[in-house]
Every structure is written in structure tokens, then in C-alpha cells.
Amino acid sequence: MSTIVVDPVTRIEGHLRIEAVTEDGIIKQASSAGTMLRGIEIILKDRDPRDAWAFTQRICGVCTSSHAITSVRAIEDALKYKIPVNAHIIRNLIDGAQFVHDHVVHFYHLHALDWVDVVSALKADPTITAALQTCISPSRQENNTPEYFTVVKTKLQTFVNSGQLGIFNNGYWGHPEYKLPPELNLLAFAHYLEALAWQRSVARLHAVFGGKNPHPSFAIGGMPCAISLHDEDLATNQKADTRIDKVGLALVGEVIQQMRKFVDQVYVPDTLAIAGYYKDWFTKGEGVGNFLTYGDFPITAGMTGDSLVEPNNLFIPRGVILDRNLSVIHPLDMNDPEQVQELVSSSWYNYSVGKDTPLHPYAGETTPNYTGPQPPYEHLDVEKAYSWVKSPRWRGKAMEVGPLSHVLMLYAKGHEGTRALVDKTLTDLKLPLSALFSTMGRTAARTLEAKILADEMAVWFQQLQDNIKAGDLRTHNPTLFDPSTWPAQATGAGFLEAPRGALGHWVVINNGKISNYQAVVPTTWNAGPRTFVNNVPVSGPYEAALVGHKLANPDQPLEILRTIHSFDPCMGCAVHVMDAEGEELIQVKIL
């Protein structure tokens, strides 16, 4: 037996340590440890509920809008605020844009390098690369010539010749598990560079509706938008060059088209091309086999008047899938103390009722109690507490959340677009439906979800335009914002499907102040350490998915990175920065 430690796992948001016990190169047990504390619940105590969204948005610098919307929904639920239909649509558009933006960035800049040997691209023939792009994406016209790929190859060659690979410096280039031909590696690297420019452009949608990105603005009771409602272009003159810039709703429409075009012509074809060389990874990294969705994206077609989020009127349905059985969708009630619970038996927290007692978030506690080794340390004591991440459970079962859960739920519920897309993908790859329950299945599901939501964004945008043209410009009642109208005690829960999965915020309000606030984030569901039911260990999704992996080279555990990255970890949501004495580790000033 030997133990392999990956710390930190790079190309993720935040701090994650993986320890894997191997025998004959095969992982027998894995432990997932979040290595820094998240204390947003402590920060929010005794604050004004109307300010909670601005604080929770700082949980993460990636999915900022996700936490803001969820927090706003929690307060709206507690105070029974109903919002206009257009506010629902705008939130859908903001959340949908977050999904598409996040999925593209994750694939090209964080996860693709697990499959793409960047240095191998230097052996590529640009002419063959151009022909390859034409083959896998016939509708793409731009950036599709041998000259274009020659320029890209020269950029990469200059980078490598400098002796400073920068962000590519610690890659396992030349690893025997890399299987792509040089031309596909060059194509993927070219799209890596294109995605950098693309993501800057599409982030403008958040700025239009929320004023800025990251950390756009939100409001309890609706959306604080001040945008042009007209379709005309704004002409400006800059350095004697005439430039036409779209503004307001016209810009939103343009951004949605940019999203759809890149997803259809680049992201989807690249994923399928790469997956074809790694079909063995459709049988690895299965995980716990249980999937959970809170559901999201209120269906606004036909909606009139103001309303709260209706649990049975959501584009991504709510429910639970057990043991990979898509024929039965179990009902989910996030306010039921017997269903959603958090445990800290293997986490560095204390509960006043005892570490082994599960708590529903309304009664949740965030009391740090670090009992692990002092860094630097060789190994964690995984027989005791070993992570700053708590362990959420549904009726005692570990659940996977995220794009695979979303796609499976849509598929199981019979969504026609999802079924057609999934079936065609599996047919093209000559794979069964069961192939989705895997590392590569998780990665493919994220790509398919980006297309599903990008297409749906065009529908929501048309609904918004139609409503505005029909004169629906209602605003919420400002008197509801006055704390003197609130009840003395109130509880509320807000739910959202973030790019990484089920996100929930629970709030308890007493006399106008927050007395308890608990956020159960997607990476908590996926990265939580194992718990015990009748002395039987129950591993979380990360830990379960790594078991059985055979490492080709234990000194370069590429296989571990592939499976962990397939979940798209966001440890920034699950953990925050504090040392063992509770002191701030670093303060950065921008001058």
C-alpha cells in the first residue's frame, strides 16, 4: 500500500487536497480535504437581511451572481415577496449566461489540459489541422485556414522556446495517457486562446443587467435594471474611426448569439472529437450513483402577475435519482429536516448537539474546530476529522450535483431537446446511456448543458422583448422593503442550480436581523468527506469516483486530475482563508 498526495489540486477555484491509497497502482480509498475555512455564515450573523446578497456574493469570485440570486430568493421566501415576471426572466438570463460562460471557461482553461497535450501540438501540420476543423465543425468559416493555425503554432513555439511555460509549466506533457493526435492538440490550443477573448465579450450580459461583472447588483423583490429598451445602435466616434456599439437589449441579443455560435461551432464539436479518443473514460469515475437537483429557471411562458419561484414550474426539474435508475424520480423537499442534512463527523467543526448529529440548515451551526495536523504535514489523519468541508446528505445518502445531474433529470423527465441531444451524442460515439455515469460522461454532460441553456436563453430573451413591447414595465412595491412591515420572526430558503449544481441558502430572521444563515453549496455536496451510517462509511462523490482508478505513473497522477476536474470543483464556495489561530493570512491592497 502507498499513499499519493495531490495538494493543491490546481486548475480549480480554491484549495483542495486529495489523498489516495493505492495497491498495485490502483486506488483503493480516496480522501477529499478542503484545506481552508469558509466562514460567511459567521460574518452574516446579526446583519440586515437586505444586505445578505452582497456578502454571499463574495463567497466566490466565479459564480458571484449564483449566490446573490439564491440569497435574494431566501429573503423573498422569508418575507413572502412576489416579483414581476420580467424579473424572473432577467434572473434566468443572468443565471443562464453564468452557466454557458462558466462551462466554456472550465473546459478550455481548466479541464481540457487533462486530455490535451499542449507541447505535442508543436508536431502538428497546420494544413491537416484546418481540414480537421472543417470535418468536425463544417459550419465554422472563420479561423479555419492553414495560415491561421500556422500563426497559432508559432505563438506556441515562441512560448515553449522561451523556456517559461507559465501556466503550462507543471503539466504532465508526454504522459502515456495522452492520446490525441498533434493536429487535434493544436486545434484545441487554438480554441483555448479563442475562448479567452470570447469569455471577455460574453461577460457583458451581466454588466448590462447588473451594472458590472463580477459581482453584479441585485435587489430583493425584483431586478435593479437601468438599460436601454430600444433596439437602435449607438454611434460613437473614436480616433476618427466610426464604430457602432449595440446597447441595452440589443447588446443582450448579440451576446446570446455569440454564446450560441461558439458553443455550437467550437465547444460541442471539440468535446465530441476529444471524447472519441478517450472512450475508455466513459467507464471510469462513476461516483456514488445518486443525483440531486433543486431545480431552477422558472418557466415564464404564460406567467402573469407577480410570483415567487414555483417548485413545479421549473425548466430544470426538482428531484432525486437513486442508484442510476432514471425510471423513478424521488420527490425532494429541502425544508424537510429528514431530507437535507449536514454532518461534520469528518469535518473541522463542532455541533452543540454532538459531531455525529446531522442538522438541517435552518438549525445549522458553523463553529470551527481545527483538530488536524499543523502544516506542513505528510498525511491527514483520515480516521478523524480531515476537512473544512461539511458533508451534506439526502436521507443519509451522498448525492452528486452538477451538470450530469441536470442533464439526467431533464432526460428522465422527458425534455425533448435534451433527449434528442443526448441520444445523438451517444449514437455518434457508439455508447450506451450508462456511459454518462462516468468521468467523461460528466464532462460531456457539461457541454450538452451549455448548448441546452444557450438555446433556451434565446427563448427567454424573446419573451422579455415581447413583454416590454406589450408595455409590461411593472416594478415591485417599495413599502415591502421597510423592516417595519416584516414579522418579528421569519424563515426562508432560496434555491438555485448553479453551474456546479444545487445551491441552497437558508435564513432565520429575528427582529429584523439575521440570527442564522447557512449556505449549502454544490461543491459541499460533491467534495464533502465520508460519513458513517451504522459504522459503515459513506463516501462523497469525489472520493467514490476515484476508487478503482489505475495510475499509469504514480508520480504524475493525471487520472486523479481528470476525474476531480470533471466535477469542476469550486472550493472557494466551500472554504475560505483562515489560519489555525483564526487570523487573516493575507491582505492585498490595490493602489
% of the chain at pLDDT higher than 70: 91
Q: What is the pLDDT of residues 365-407, one digit of tens each?
A: 999 999 998 878 899 999 999 999 999 999 999 999 999 999 9
Residue predicted with more confidence, 571 or 153: 153
What would the grid cell of residue 124 be? Answer: 502538428
Identify the pLDDT of residue 215: 85
pLDDT at residue 13 in the model: 82
Helix ranges (DSSP H) in 483-581: 522-527, 541-546, 558-566, 571-574
pTM: 0.93
404 vs 484, higher pLDDT: 404
Q: Yes or no: say if 197 and 183 are a contact pair by the CB < 8 Å rule.
A: no
Please tell me the distance from the alpha carbon of residue 219 to that of residue 517, in angstroms, as a whole number. Answer: 18
pLDDT at 301: 86
The span from the CA of 194 to the CA of 190, in Å, is: 6
Q: What is the mean pLDDT of the chain?
A: 90
pLDDT value, residue 580? 42
Ranking 94-98, 315-319, 335-339, 473-477 by mean pLDDT, the lowest is 473-477
pLDDT confidence of residue 160:
83
On the question of a cis peptide bond just before residue 375, with omega within 30 degrees of 0, the verdict is no
Does residue 222 come out as left (phi exceeding 0), alpha (psi in the -120 to 50 range) or beta? left
pLDDT digits (tens, 9 = 90+) for 464-479: 999 888 876 665 566 6
- Residue 233 or 521, more confident: 521
pLDDT band at 443 (very low <50, low <70, confident <90, very high): very high
| Cβ neighbours around 463 below 10 Å, total | 20
How far, in Å, CA of 431 to CA of 282, rounded? 8
- Amino acid found at 416: E
* 515-534 mean pLDDT: 94
pLDDT range class, residue 495, cuts 50, 70, 90: very high
Query: Which pLDDT value is given to residue 533?
Result: 81
pLDDT given for residue 576 in this prediction: 44
Secondary structure, 3-state, 304-331 = CCCECCCCCCEEECCEEECCCCCCCCEC
Buried b (16+ CB within 10 A) or exposed e, 498-518: bbbbbbbbbbbbeeeebebbb
2-574 CATH: 1.10.645.10
Quote the pLDDT of residue 587.
Answer: 43
Q: What confidence category does residue 244 fall into, taking pLDDT thresholds of 50, 70 and 90?
A: very low
Mean pLDDT of 440-463: 97
**Residue 122, pLDDT above cutoff 60:** yes
Cis-peptide into 8, omega within 30 deg: yes
For range 78-90, the mean pLDDT: 92
* 505, 524 Cβ separation under 8 angstroms: no
pLDDT above 50 (res 237):
no
Identify the band that residue 522 occupies on the pLDDT scale cut at 50, 70 and 90: very high
Domain ranges within the chain, ordered by starting residue: 2-574
Query: Which are the contacts of 187, defined by CB distance < 8 A and separation ≥ 6?
Result: 129, 132, 133, 149, 270, 273
Consecutive H or E run containing 271: helix 268-275
Residue 560 has pLDDT above 90, yes or no: yes
Residues 58-62, mean pLDDT to the nearest whole number: 78
248-287 per-position pLDDT tens digit: 888 999 999 999 999 999 999 999 999 999 999 999 999 9
Q: Can you give the pLDDT at residue 475?
A: 58
What average pLDDT does this structure show over 423-436?
98
Is residue 420 pLDDT above 80, yes or no? yes
Average pLDDT of 31-58? 91
Closest CA relative to residue 565, chosen from 439, 471, 408, 453: 439
The pLDDT, as a whole number, for residue 238 is: 42
pLDDT category, 224, cuts 50, 70, 90? confident
Give pLDDT, residue 247.
Answer: 66
For 152-165, what is the mean pLDDT? 85
Confidence of residue 586 (pLDDT cuts 50, 70, 90): very low
